[in-house]
Structure 1
């Protein structure tokens, strides 16, 4: 532990906001199941799914890890979807997530998993930044994100965009188009929906505790079939090869709704260059490690280089096919 750096303090204003958001959101869920119309329920599911795509396929896989390339229309859609989630700008989200991967498992990790699920999911999000936050941020290469004009616009106009796209439009729709009550619209599409998307965002950084396994744990895990808690080493894999586009945020690999959407977009030609690690590449790199002095980090870098080479070859085959 770095003893020269002071501990992060609790931001009590943030704590009070989250307490009120979750309390009012819980009341909104009660209204959703007891009073709201069926169309409102379906609309909430749609909005949460939309925000989830902005968080997972957008902020996480596209911008934080550059695991694929997207057309302008997809990037615009994902920027708006992420704005609906109401978790701050994509730039800030990506910077925090890259810090999380860069300093994973250390005190410099904003969501240090070694301190447990409650810390990584909740406590870390109500603490003030580290005193050396600006110094740490300079160690993260954000030039790729800086060069994206859509991210630049969202970052500078975030609050007006969030008020319009993330609050007014979702809250107004039920009352305007199917005569839902104003009270239900505000508490369900406002507080309850924001509480859900906020926790989805937090889960991207704390999911290891729910779906991940510790080194040496039994595989398959004894609780492998308990509802959605499909524990595996996939989460460990993600922290080794974060650029693999098939890595799901919540325990799956090459499966799940978000990955399915990504595959559909690829078929439609809206995205390209989906990076992944093939079995041949793994064998090749393991062979080099066994016969040379290649370090683990060099091996991981080689895996990414091979993945990028495969995506380029695939694009060439597609264009000449």
Structure 2
């Protein structure tokens, strides 16, 4: 397999065959022929989803509560509460990015039980469904990107890929293709089994009660102010930072690693989503734990994983070699040149 740990740096003269091998052998690499077939099928189908009104009402109340929280953050909250809201947003975000996403969904690194327990707790703080369900959706997204088997298919519109996909019934193709996924690695994980078994009490504790209690006990904040800011506003904020990767990071940006897919590179998304904005890179090399080529972009999630590795809690960090990355970028340049030449001839 052409994915190497950080300690390995092989230099091979011919990177082209290694590029093809690296992309094909990565976990969650897409079958392009199947993706193209599914996209063509979607043009012939007329699926009308059913609105799930219970979730519409839930998210409406959540956003109303988040607006109240924003008001309290600006006018009423103590400065410590403002800082804690920001910190808790980062912590819960790490539960998604370093936990559900890079560790469990992509298997881009391995972690020992202390890191796994911490990430499971932070994932409960985020309240974006349990890790197994989150990873199921995300694996479908990568295997069949921009098709009806993609739960938040960008071709169904920006709003749909952002939040709309949560408010309507699932497409039959998503249900059909999802059955092909092998989820045994997560279903056999005792930490994730514990989370799934006790998910709602864990969410109540870590997403709502604990963040509020820290404000009240730590610096005497009003309980309702603490609830609306560090819990409800923070919860809504982290939802949107995740959702913007599904929507904006498939719309606004550039594609240096694969010009034929919708995911893009976005610096602002990297800042908001703790390093998840290198989305074109991530869909091209889905098992690289960095999810980005560049070290100078803000990739807080990578820093956390590197910190776990320094403690001996994370290992087998998957990294795509530089020569393979450069070969892929050069390949895209040639594709664009070819298209430009074809377009020029078409005008004459």
Interval of TM-score (by shorter of Structure 1 and Structure 2): 0.7 to 0.9
Q: Is the 8 A contact 1:234 1:253 kept in 2?
A: no
Q: Is the 8 A contact 2:121 2:206 kept in 1?
A: yes
Structure-to-structure mapping, 1:177-256, within 5 angstroms = 177-209=218-250, 212-213=253-254, 215=259, 234-248=278-292, 255-256=298-299
Name 2:183's counterpart in structure 1: 142
Name 1:263's counterpart in structure 2: 306
Report Cα offsets for 1:38-82 as digits up to 9, x if no partner: 111111111111101100000000000000011100000000000
The TM-score with structure 2 as length reference comes to: 0.72
| Residues 119 and 155 of structure 1, relative CA distance in 2, 3 Å threshold | same
Whole-Å Cα distance in 2 between the matches of residues 224 and 100 of structure 1? 22
Q: Displacement of 1:94 after TM fit?
A: 0.3
The TM-score with structure 1 as length reference comes to: 0.77
Name 1:122's counterpart in structure 2: 163
Name 1:294's counterpart in structure 2: none
Whole-Å Cα distance in 2 between the matches of residues 225 and 185 of structure 1? 28
Structure 1 segments (4+ residues) deviating >6 Å:
223-227, 251-254, 283-286
Q: Is the 8 A contact 2:55 2:167 kept in 1?
A: yes
Whole-Å Cα distance in 2 between the matches of residues 107 and 248 of structure 1? 27
Q: Is the 8 A contact 1:248 1:259 kept in 2?
A: no
| 1:56 equivalenced with 2:97 (yes/no) | yes
Report Cα offsets for 1:137-167 as digits up to 9, x if no partner: 2111111111211011111210011112221
The structure with higher relative contact order (CA 8 Å, sep 6+) is 2
Q: Displacement of 1:273 after TM fit?
A: 0.6
Name 2:113's counterpart in structure 1: 72
Q: Is the 8 A contact 2:208 2:232 kept in 1?
A: no
| Residues 40 and 197 of structure 1, relative CA distance in 2, 3 Å threshold | same
Whole-Å Cα distance in 2 between the matches of residues 285 and 227 of structure 1? 22
| 1:94 equivalenced with 2:135 (yes/no) | yes
- How many residue pairs match? The answer is 279
Whole-Å Cα distance in 1 between the matches of residues 244 and 117 of structure 2? 24
| Residues 236 and 224 of structure 1, relative CA distance in 2, 3 Å threshold | closer
| 1:165 equivalenced with 2:209 (yes/no) | no
Name 1:313's counterpart in structure 2: none
Please give the secondary structure, in 2, of the residue aligned with 1:10. Answer: coil
Name 2:81's counterpart in structure 1: 40
Q: Is the 8 A contact 2:150 2:174 kept in 1?
A: no
Q: Is the 8 A contact 2:81 2:215 kept in 1?
A: yes
Whole-Å Cα distance in 1 between the matches of residues 145 and 104 of structure 2? 19
Whole-Å Cα distance in 1 between the matches of residues 160 and 295 of structure 2? 23
CA RMSD of aligned residues (A): 3.2
Q: Is the 8 A contact 2:131 2:192 kept in 1?
A: yes
Name 2:153's counterpart in structure 1: 112
* Structure 1: segments with no counterpart, 5+ residues: 287-321
